[in-house]
Structure formats: C-alpha cells, structure tokens
Amino acid sequence: MDMGPLLPFFLIALFFDAVTVAVARQGNQGSSPIIFASLIAMSAGSTAALLLAALLPGSDRLVAVTVAATLGTLFGCVTANDLRALFACRTRVEATYRGCEDVPTAHVMTLHYPVFSYEHRGRPYHGRSIQSVSGRRARETPASGACPIYLDPRHPAAFITRRCVGVIKVVELLCALGCFAVAAWVLVIP
C-alpha cells in the first residue's frame, strides 16, 4: 500500500494531537472549554481519518464522512464559543482603551485583541478582550477616553467589545452546517 497520500492526514493528526496534549498539560483548557472540545474533536477526527485510510481498504466514504464531520465540529465549536461569549458577557461597564494586542496566525493574518482597563464592583481589571476585532476597528478605537465593554458578571476578567452577531459568526455557522450536510450526503449516496 502506498502511504504517500496519507501524509497530509498524518501531519494534521500529529499537529492537533500535539496541540491538544500541550494545552491539557498547561491546564489552559478551563479558560475556553468549548475551544478545547474543538481541539479534541480535531485530534480524534484527524486520527480516526488516518487510521481508517491506512487500515481499512476501500474506506474512502468513511474517511470523507469523518473529515467532513470533524470540520463541522470545529466550526460548530467556534460558533458555540462565540455565542456563549455573546450571552455570558452582558454587563456593560465603561472602560479605558489601552491599545491593541496583535497576534499573528501562521503568517496568514493577524488577530487584533483590544486591551482595556476597567473597574467592576470596586475591583480594577486590565486585560484583553476574548473577542478579536478587525484591523480597521482596532485602528478606529479611540486612543483615550471611555468606551463601553460587556463583561461576564461571573468572570469579570472576561469581556467582549460588541454584543452583536456579525458576518463572521454567520459564516462559521454556515460552514458547520455545510460540513455536516456533506457528511450526511456522503453517507446516503449509493
């Protein structure tokens, strides 16, 4: 059997397995449990696709279903995490903008996380939003003065800058539904 075509599955599985183990070892899975669940799904799904392709001849349909369902789970978890933040972060407070933390992602794009200082129930907080913003929005945020942010009253250090369903959230949801539809379609086609 030629194992060359399995190299992408192997590399993807190895990457997600390593990231999942690293996050678990650092104990960071509690801060974003839904995102950690997506890492586990990607790790398990890519490993399952690799094993199916390597060990079960003629398993192309099962591999396709596994890959589509795994990607659907990834997009679904990201959407669920965004919606959870939208519903949990509901307490409006005035905050002072302190700049933006830019996080490059694999030399493809940069995520911009605005940093704010604020006070909640007499306790001062300083940190970055759990929600990234566009580069244009990061440049347009006033350099000084007060802006409203929305925090989670149970975890006041977690906050977002806008409470709305944006285009990205809709696209994430459509990608999740599309991946699950492809998986279901592959299962039922003869």
pTM as predicted: 0.71
What span, in angstroms and rounded, lies between the C-alpha atoms of 173 and 80? 9
**pLDDT per residue over 25-62, tens digit each?**
666 555 567 777 887 888 888 888 878 877 888 778 88
CA distances from 147 to 12, 15, 45, 76, 139 (A): 41, 39, 42, 31, 14
**pLDDT per residue over 141-178, tens digit each?**
766 667 889 999 988 988 888 888 778 788 989 999 99
Tokens standing for 110?
A: 């940069």
Tokens standing for 87?
A: 């519903």
Q: How far is CA 18 from the centre of its chain?
A: 17
What span, in angstroms and rounded, lies between the C-alpha atoms of 153 and 90? 8
What span, in angstroms and rounded, lies between the C-alpha atoms of 92 and 118? 11
The number of beta carbons lying within 10 Å of the beta carbon of residue 115 is: 15
